[in-house]
């Protein structure tokens, strides 16, 4: 069984690959290209020939957790939130990006 994370970057790469195979698809929606709609980050896998997709909603339902949280991709350009998040997850800001600097 192989599994991979499917996010907005993977979705874009999938669209580019479809357009490279068939240039007439340029400017069309994912559905018109014959691709699955991108609804958010998923773990995609193929189990016994069945395509499976697991999203955070599935895991939250299994664990009985509320469907809430913060996606770090949302904070790409807004640095004030990124700084707040760094203070929450790093014990020492000099060690940010290193495992031993995380809480």
Same domain, 16 and 47: yes
What's the domain count of the chain? 2
Same domain, 44 and 20: yes
* Full residue range of the structural domain in which residue 74 is found: 70-103
CA atoms within 13 A on the CB side of 13: 6
Same domain, 59 and 74: no
pLDDT in tens, 30-81: 999 999 888 888 999 998 889 899 998 888 888 888 877 766 666 666 667 7
Is the Cβ–Cβ distance between 18 and 34 less than 8 Å? yes
Same domain, 11 and 61: yes
pLDDT of residue 103: 56
Q: Which residue is associated with the tokens 């192989």?
A: 2
Characterize 76-93 residue by residue with b for buried, 16 or more Cβ atoms within 10 angstroms of its Cβ, and e for exposed.
Answer: eeeeeeeeeeeeeebeee
Report pTM.
0.60
């Amino acid at each position: 069984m192989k599994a991979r994370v499917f996010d907005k970057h993977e979705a874009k790469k999938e669209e580019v690959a479809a357009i490279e195979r068939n240039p007439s698809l340029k400017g069309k929606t994912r559905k018109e290209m014959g691709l699955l709609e991108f609804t958010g980050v998923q773990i995609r896998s193929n189990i016994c020939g069945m395509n499976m997709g697991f999203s955070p909603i599935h895991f939250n339902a299994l664990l009985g957790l509320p469907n809430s949280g913060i996606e770090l991709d949302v904070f790409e350009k807004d640095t004030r939130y990124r700084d707040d998040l760094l203070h929450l997850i790093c014990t020492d800001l000099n060690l940010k990006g290193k495992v031993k600097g995380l809480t």
